[in-house]
Amino acid sequence: MQPGDEIAPLAVTPDKYLTVRYAGASGDFNPIHIDEQFAQQVGLPGRILHGLYTMAQVARAHTDAGGGPGSLKRLSVQFRGMGLPEHELVVTGKVVSAQDGVAVVECGCEQNGKRIIRNAEAELLLSDVSSR
């Protein structure tokens, strides 16, 4: 990985039941994630994805790029929008530096042309990348 290199984009479309399954896995049963009518009553377009699910997709894209979970040294994100089930998420990233065995990747996640995660940064251990 060299500065300017892009990681392979990750595109994933969460199915309509994902928020219910993720609520069970995460323990976050906030009704904005699992109750369509409630979400609409509070002004949302419908149930929204858990922020940590979208962050997990950013982590997944970087562990894929780095050759496995051990390659992800650090991940920092800013949540800047709401994700919706049944709409494709696309995670992208670009290497901004690579030194001392670590690549720094600026990254983000978009859905329907809107950035829902931005100002994100991942650090990947280059030794794991080169051993693939």
* 15, part of any domain: yes
Determine the 3-state secondary structure of 11 from DSSP. Answer: strand
Assign residue 72 the CATH number of its domain. Answer: 3.10.129.10
Tens-digit pLDDT string for the chain (132 aa): 899 999 999 999 999 999 999 999 999 999 999 999 999 999 999 999 999 999 999 999 999 999 999 999 999 999 999 999 999 999 999 999 999 999 999 999 999 999 999 899 999 998 745 444
In a domain, 118, yes or no: yes
Instruction: Give residue 57's domain range.
Output: 10-130
32 part of a folded domain: yes
Beta strand 114-125 with 72-79: parallel, antiparallel or unpaired? Answer: antiparallel
Total number of domains constituting the chain: 1
Please report how many Cα atoms fall inside a 13 Å half-sphere around the Cα of residue 94, on the Cβ side.
Answer: 5
pTM beyond 0.85, yes or no: yes
In a domain, 117, yes or no: yes
Specify if 2 maps to a domain: no
Establish if 1 belongs to a structural domain. no
Is residue 4 situated within a structural domain?
no
